[in-house]
Each structure stands twice: as structure tokens, then as C-alpha cells.
Amino acid sequence: MPTLVHSGKVRDVYRDGDDLILVASDRVSVYDVVLPTPVPDKGRVLTRLSLWWFDQLEDLVPNHIIGEVSDPPEWAGRAVRCRSLSMVPVECVARGYLSGSARAEYDRSGSVCGIALPPGLVEGSRLPTPIFTPTTKAPIGEHDEALTYEQVVDQVGADVAARLRDLTLAIYERGSDIARDRGIIIADTKLEFGFSRDGTLTLADEVLTPDSSRFWPADHWEPGRPQHPFDKQMVRDWAVGTGWNKQPPGPEVPGYVVSATRARYVEAYERLTGLPF
């Protein structure tokens, strides 16, 4: 019998013998608050997409997937059995474009995670070359903090730090090349790694989904203004438009916003994989 060991904002984690089962729900969080209204199929879309990416990356890095779990039936399509890893306590972020917290850091200091960048970059600018911008894995309720590469070396040692950086950039480059051909810019992404029992550095968690990455339609890309992400942006904009103060509880989301958001997730999946959802 799987036992629930962790309930994140969007996913639930169960332990089943030696394995973990990650169950993706249809919950949506905005500004770290889970809204009362689910987006149908979101959990299945993100699970399918992650599995598809693990396959695309298999020759670069081993992954934690053992297989899909469809018992109980309500888990079908959105639950995966994975090897339980000893997780690396660093969120491995790769960025090819400047946005979000990195843009704020650049505006203050001209650098991101200790990496100096050329002057004149704006929201959405493409970086001269993709960069590794790791963060802490903050406990629930706290925010991830930027780490310099030297801080990662202090935490995990020089050898593991170099492997994390090189793998993160290689995965980002593979993923963003594939996506680019299909009209999607992956501006940045967050990866998680862990060690298997035999010491193999293994890609874990979810990978290259709209929840772990910024996906932008390439044909609307225009540096200097916010882009049009393939995710819950519509829900976010709608929620802010109601005057909501970003504190729990979040507002009930109307049907037209829910269906437009569902369509956006499905479109990202279908464009990337070329498969019908």
C-alpha cells in the first residue's frame, strides 16, 4: 500500500516499498497559493510531457522513472513509479534568456548567480550563451535563493558541481533545440538530480514542463516586454485582475479561464511531441 509522504502544491509523493510514486494533480498555484479550481487534464498533460522528455534525454542522462502507475484508476496517466534517490540539495537552473528573478538580479548587479552578463539586456533578451544559475531548495513557505557556482562546489564538492553544471546545460541545450524547431522557446528550466543506491547521478522530478520551465511561443518573442508563456499566465492575470491580494484563499476561477488554460497546456504538449493528447 503506497503511503503519502509529501504533498506539494501541485503533486503528491507516495512511498511504495523501495520506490516513490509521484502523482501530478490538476491543481494550479499562482503566487504560491493553490486555487480552489482545478484545470482538467493538467496532471496528465504534464506527466505525459515529462515522460516524453525523459525518453528524448535518455542518451545524455539516466533518469528515475521505473514506469507508469494506473492503480488506483484515478491515478491513470498522471502517476509514475520512480527510484527513490538521495536528492542533491540544489535546484539546477539553466537559462538561455533573461527573465523573472534573474532579470531582477541583473538589473541590480549586472550579473546572475555570479556570472557577469553584457550590458543592455532587457526582459526576454537571449543570453550570449546559456548559463547555469543554481538555487537552494527552500523548505516549504520559503523562497529559493540564488547560489554562486562556488557555493555549489562548497556544498557538493568540485566533481559533482561540475557534473551538475555540465548535465544541466546539456539537457537545456538538447531540450531547447528540439523545442525551437517546434516553435517554442524554452527560456529557462529547473532540474533536480539525485544519486541512486549505486551512486549514479540521476535526473529526477519532472523535466521540461511548463511548471518547471518558461515556455514562450517563438513567433511572439520580442525582448523588452513580458512574453506570452504557455502556462497558467491566463489564470495569473485573471486572478490579479480581480484585485486579489495574493494571500490565501485564492479566488474561484471562471470556466472560460479554466478551459483556455487547459487548451494552452494541451497545445504545448502537442506542439512539442507532435502527438495528439
* Nearer Cβ to ligand ATP (83/165): 83
Q: Least separation, in Å, of the C-beta of 225 and ligand ATP?
A: 27
* Nearer Cβ to ligand ATP (6/180): 6
C-alpha cell of 261?
Answer: 488554460
* Nearer Cβ to ligand ATP (13/153): 13
CA distances from 225 to 163, 185, 202, 230 (A): 34, 15, 37, 16
Using the 8-state DSSP alphabet, how is residue 193 labeled? E
Residues 140-159 as b/e (b if ≥16 CB within 10 A, e otherwise) read eeeeeebbebebbbeebeee
* Nearer Cβ to ligand ATP (180/197): 197
Q: Least separation, in Å, of the C-beta of 246 and ligand ATP?
A: 16
**Where does 57-98 have alpha helices with state H?**
none
Distance CA 238, CA 256 (A): 11
64 binds ligand ATP (CB under 6 A): yes
43 binds ligand ATP (CB under 6 A): no
Total number of residues that touch ligand ATP (CB under 6 A) = 17
Which one among 205, 210, 213, 227 touches ligand ATP, defined by CB under 6 A?
Answer: 205
Query: Phi and psi (nearest 5°) for 180?
Result: -60, -40
Distance CA 10, CA 26 (A): 7
- List binders of ligand ATP among 71-90 (CB under 6 A): 82-85, 87
The full DSSP string for 253-272 is: PPHHHHHHHHHHHHHHHHHH
* Nearer Cβ to ligand ATP (123/205): 205
20 binds ligand ATP (CB under 6 A): yes
Q: By Cβ distance, which residue is nearest to ligand ATP?
A: 8
State the residues that interact with ligand ATP by CB under 6 A. Answer: 6, 8-11, 13, 20, 64, 82-85, 87, 192, 194, 204-205
